[in-house]
Amino acid sequence: MMVTRRDALRLLIAPVGIAAAAGIAPAAPQTRKLKVLVAGGHPDDPESGCGGTIARHADAGHEVLVLYLTRGEAGIPGTAHEAAARIRTAEAERACAILGAAPRFAGQVDGDTRLDNAAYAAMRELLARERPDAIYTQWPVDTHRDHRTMSVLIYDAWLRTGRSAALGYFEVLTGDQTQLFRPTDYVDITAVARRKRDAVFAHASQKPDEWYPAHERMSRFRGMERGVEHAEAFVRHDRGPALPLPA
């Protein structure tokens, strides 16, 4: 029997269940408990971008911290910042509970995020303190300034803490927000797709029924690319350790 390169790749990736892109070796199976940091601009970004992967990491016994740059202060029209922050903090806490993660807040303000020396220093200190094994953050080419801010702060902190964590980027509302995103790695989230949806819908103030269908189309499309029903996709930074994506 002739074994094509595609067959060989399929055999290679099958044991760990990770659909690595062609030509890229899969991540090694994990046995040690990891600390995973998932960083987004607003409450609902980490959940919609990689909520399935968060759930799978948590279910595998790893510690997952979800870091929100802001509390979504400007995200409820007609509601004052302080009240909106309270509502959206509670929604984020509920979403994290559904996924098995712990929320953290980086203290910036929605719609007024800063990319300056103080912000760089604060993020560097946070990474140095938390020492995650893996970081997932927003892709930097994104139409929303707060998403770009978080992505660049994480990238800078990752460089300045010795690139010791694996670094991967996730996508949100691709085409509308995330742009020019070409995945290197995928995670099958079929078994946790319902939980991801529930976590996103914990953000009721954001009217997810209006935009979550776009994310479901994305996860079905990424799933089609890898031959599963629903998948999340990542771009891995190749100057750090391999992404310890769920096996």
Interface residues toward Zn ion, by CB under 5 A: 41-42, 45
Closest to Zn ion by CB, 42 or 195: 42
Q: How many residues make up the chain in this entry?
A: 247
Q: Smallest distance, Å, CB 99 to Zn ion? A: 17
In the chain, the DSSP E strands lie at 35-40, 63-70, 102-108, 134-138, 166-170, 185-188, 231-236
Which of 33, 55, 28 lies closest to 136 in space, CA to CA?
55
Closest to Zn ion by CB, 48 or 184: 48
Closest to Zn ion by CB, 69 or 193: 69
Instruction: Write down the residue that tokens 């929605």 correspond to.
Output: 110
Q: Smallest distance, Å, CB 183 to Zn ion? A: 20
Which of 133, 114, 132 lies closest to 122 in space, CA to CA?
114
Which tokens go with 45? 């970004």
- Residue of minimal Cβ distance to Zn ion: 42
Three-state secondary structure of 5-38: HHHHHHHHHHHHCCCCCCCCCCCCCCCCCCEEEE
Cα 200 from Cα 95, distance rounded (Å): 7
Closest to Zn ion by CB, 65 or 69: 69
Q: Smallest distance, Å, CB 171 to Zn ion? A: 12
- Are the CB atoms for 186 and 222 separated by under 8 Å? yes
Closest to Zn ion by CB, 108 or 161: 108
Which tokens go with 187? 């995670």
Q: Smallest distance, Å, CB 116 to Zn ion? A: 20
Q: Smallest distance, Å, CB 129 to Zn ion? A: 25
Q: Smallest distance, Å, CB 166 to Zn ion? A: 23
Closest to Zn ion by CB, 40 or 240: 40
Cα 190 from Cα 180, distance rounded (Å): 25
